[in-house]
Amino acid sequence: SDIKKGVLDKTFLLKTLNKIKDNIDTLNLDIYKEKLLNNKSKYLTIYDSEFPYNLKNIQNPPLIIYYKGNLNEKFEYGISVVGARKCTNYGAWACEYIASELSRLKIPTISGLALGIDSIVHKTCLRGDSLTMGVLGNGIDVVYPKSNYSLYEEMIISEKGCIITEYPLGTKPIGYNFPRRNRLISGFGLGTIVVEAKEKSGTLITANYAGEQGKEIFAIPGNINSLYSKGTNSLIKDGAKIVNSIYDILEELPQLKDLIDYKNDDEQKEILENLTEEEYRVYKLIHRTPLSLDEIYRKLDLNINEVSVIITTLELKGYISELQGGIYSVI
């Protein structure tokens, strides 16, 4: 509720002021800056011209952000992707599928560097050489969860990765920090995709923030018997846009079409211009791994006659070819 959020915001402000006071009591500003430098961290205040525009304009914006890596201005045209830490196999597949599509189009992603869906988003985008940002609920010098240490390091070293937080050095990952952190995840991008979420999942806090911030909310539909789809299915019931493919996102956010980086991806530009949505779905499936006609129609839940026509069309357009044994592969 608004009252609860107000109390949380007030509590956070008091804790932040106390933290700042403690820092002032024990350090001077030069020493703190030196600590940041030794940690290879940078910072921006809300008064700096380089401070992210999207964050500056949300309710209760952070007064300062600490970051490592490439804080590229293109992140403000990105998409936030969030979901369950203990995701299902379906959730993992759906997340990798959507993240790879965003990565192919060089659309930046924002997530929380947690286990499960968050990690899949970051790893997929780093692998696809596209921008990805992890927003922390702790200090920039604290790795959480510890099992994500290698991913944390990769995002810092990579020219495409970035890690940010509003919390001072040394801040531990206490539970209270994460719901508040979620407003930055949703606030950074143009919209938020929820891949999987239980009915009362913390992931839904991010979706709620997105709605309050006037951002688009997307959700991937799931099995009605799955606990991890109850949250996403409820979002759809309440008006969130269903995501079956990248086209659903581009349709709702047409400005992305003008921002897609085609400089190093002329092939993708041609594909988007020349293929229908169903043709593109088949093409992308085959792009991951060569498949037979039977495997394609079963994976996409399409009529085998429809798939046969699409396969023939893709062959005629020169995008795929039939290999020995009736297997189709991208040319």
- The predicted pLDDT at position 221 comes to 95
**Domain assignment of residue 262, yes or no:** no
Going by pLDDT thresholds of 50, 70 and 90, the confidence category of residue 206 is: very high
Hey, what are 87's tokens?
């995701």
Model pLDDT for residues 207-262, shown as the tens digit of each residue: 999 999 999 999 999 999 999 999 999 999 999 999 988 888 988 997 787 666 54
- The predicted pLDDT at position 22 comes to 61
Q: Are residues 178 and 45 part of one domain? A: yes
Model pLDDT for residues 63-99, shown as the tens digit of each residue: 999 999 999 999 999 999 999 999 999 999 999 999 9
> Does an H or E element contain 68, and which?
strand 64-69
* Residue after which a domain boundary falls, among 223, 255, 287: 255
Chain-wide mean pLDDT for the chain? 87
Going by pLDDT thresholds of 50, 70 and 90, the confidence category of residue 281 is: confident
- Neighbouring CB atoms inside 10 A of 198's CB total 17
- The predicted pLDDT at position 52 comes to 94
CATH of the domain at 94: 3.40.50.450
Alpha helices in the chain (DSSP H): 2-26, 29-38, 53-56, 89-104, 117-127, 149-157, 177-188, 203-212, 230-237, 246-252, 255-259, 266-274, 277-288, 293-300, 304-316
- The predicted pLDDT at position 104 comes to 85
Hey, what are 316's tokens?
């005629």
Q: Are residues 223 and 290 part of one domain? A: no
Domain range for residue 121?
39-255
Say whether 195 sits in a helix, a strand or coil: coil
CATH of the domain at 290: 1.10.10.10
With tokens 């109850």, the residue in question is: 230
Q: Are residues 222 and 323 part of one domain? A: no
- The predicted pLDDT at position 4 comes to 47
Hey, what are 296's tokens?
């394609």
Q: Are residues 179 and 320 part of one domain? A: no
- The predicted pLDDT at position 142 comes to 96
As to burial, measured by CB atoms within 10 angstroms (0-12 exposed, 13-18 middle, 19+ buried), residue 101 is: buried
Counting the structural domains of the chain, the total is 2
Distances (CA, A) of 48 to 53, 187, 233, 256: 10, 18, 41, 27
Name the more confident of 211 and 33.
Answer: 211
Give, in degrees to the nearest 5, the angle at Cα 277 between 250 and 216.
25
Going by pLDDT thresholds of 50, 70 and 90, the confidence category of residue 294 is: confident
Going by pLDDT thresholds of 50, 70 and 90, the confidence category of residue 29 is: confident
Which of 7-21, 48-62, 119-133 comes out lowest in average pLDDT? 7-21
Cα–Cα distance measured from residue 142 to residue 287, given in angstroms and rounded to the nearest whole number? 38
Cα–Cα distance measured from residue 150 to residue 152, given in angstroms and rounded to the nearest whole number? 5
pTM to 2 decimal places: 0.73
Hey, what are 164's tokens?
């940010």
Cα–Cα distance measured from residue 92 to residue 230, given in angstroms and rounded to the nearest whole number? 16
pLDDT above 90 covers a percentage of the chain that reads 60
**Domain assignment of residue 58, yes or no:** yes
Name the more confident of 125 and 19.
Answer: 125
Examine the pLDDT at 137 and tell me if it is beyond 80.
Answer: yes
Cα–Cα distance measured from residue 166 to residue 162, given in angstroms and rounded to the nearest whole number? 14
Q: Are residues 152 and 84 part of one domain? A: yes
> Does an H or E element contain 164, and which?
strand 161-165
